[in-house]
Structure 1
């Protein structure tokens, strides 16, 4: 009976990690596609390193590497790979929890940092010399239906087309809310979803660690698999 349960655990780990591996490949492919085709920022215009494409690339690489280790370790009953898989999951969980705690502790400082970054990006866009920053501001304003940092007056006389709403009654009024207030509202509305996602992800990682350590201990007791 115990052997059957362990066999079931082994193949469950293989299937779960294979599915995660395929998801990681899909995320990685999407990141490459967005990087080649689009230039879309996730936070503010001048934070190019936080683009959606870069985030997807990093996430895809991490998911594929970790899930591959788990799949191969369970399939081959390799203690070294299983232990590495366990340690990586444990490290990732610590990083996620640390990042969540830092966001809660330094929420005010992060808000100030985002505001400063928006103002710096707006100055570069107003000069007209940096086309990349200007196009990213256009995308930000079109996506969140906002204009400038605080309002349309931040652009002075040269208000970009992305600040204007679709034509109504022959007029094209500018979006009233600024991007700073809109971003704060967006983060507040998605805070609960983000928290739930982190909790679910941590539960999945804990289950993965439990499965890996159970299989690791069984292999150690029976003397099977590759030795450390």
Structure 2
């Protein structure tokens, strides 16, 4: 009985932490959606801008953690089994995506590069027509200190955004002092240099999900249906 109580409150505490994190990501997505105008990095996934991605990710984390928290706290079998099923589906999706990336790495890399080039051309066109002064590319440039896909030459002459500048003088006077590495190139290099850490991170996430499913199923099996109390 004491072990089950400990398990219950551990589930509540962990899911509460994830709920707060999900809410923060959700709020950041809303903030970006209301303060900036966006052009998708990948035209094939027009709806998946940075703001929309954060918004959707925040909703998923918030909803799943809320089910786990409330199901554990109220000892509700329906909520616990819903939490288990959602986590199981998420894990299957993550494993599927990982397998696809490993099996078709070259094709995926080529497809992403082509789509990024299309997105960059759309951004150049929008900037030229003054339809937008800030989009996903500016956010990526500032966040990763990079420029373009492979380097600054990916942008048309005279169309290189100020977010590519390495110094304040460059942003103010237009002095050609840009980040030398492209964003996609830098992202790939960073991932390859930290492949072990990335692998450990994926394993940790999977372990957390498996433990959460085991804990939820344990509580589910020890709660009687009519009285909603431990057997």
Is 1:225 the counterpart of 2:223 in the alignment?
Answer: no
1:3-18 matched pairs, under 5 angstroms: 3-18=1-16
1:129 matched residue in structure 2: 129
Distance 1:123 1:78, change over 3 A: closer
Q: String of CA shifts for 1:144-167, please: whole Å, max 9, x gaps.
A: 454444554444542425355435
Take 1:34 and 1:143, find their aligned partners in 2: how far apart are those partners? 14
Given that 2:36 and 2:134 are in contact with CA atoms closer than 8 Å, whether structure 1 keeps it comes out as no
Gaps of 5+ in 1: none
| TM-score of the two chains, using structure 1 as the length reference | 0.77
Distance 1:116 1:132, change over 3 A: farther
Gaps of 5+ in 2: none
Pairwise CA distance, 1:110: 1.8
Distance 1:99 1:164, change over 3 A: same
Structure 1 stretch displaced more, 27-36 or 116-125 = 116-125
Among candidates 112, 115, 118, match of residue 114 of structure 1: 112
Among candidates 33, 36, 42, match of residue 35 of structure 1: 33
Take 2:155 and 2:54, find their aligned partners in 1: how far apart are those partners? 32
| TM-score of the two chains, using structure 2 as the length reference | 0.76
Distance 1:155 1:211, change over 3 A: closer
State the structure with more CA Rg.
1
Distance 1:36 1:186, change over 3 A: farther
Take 1:71 and 1:134, find their aligned partners in 2: how far apart are those partners? 39
Take 2:37 and 2:191, find their aligned partners in 1: how far apart are those partners? 21
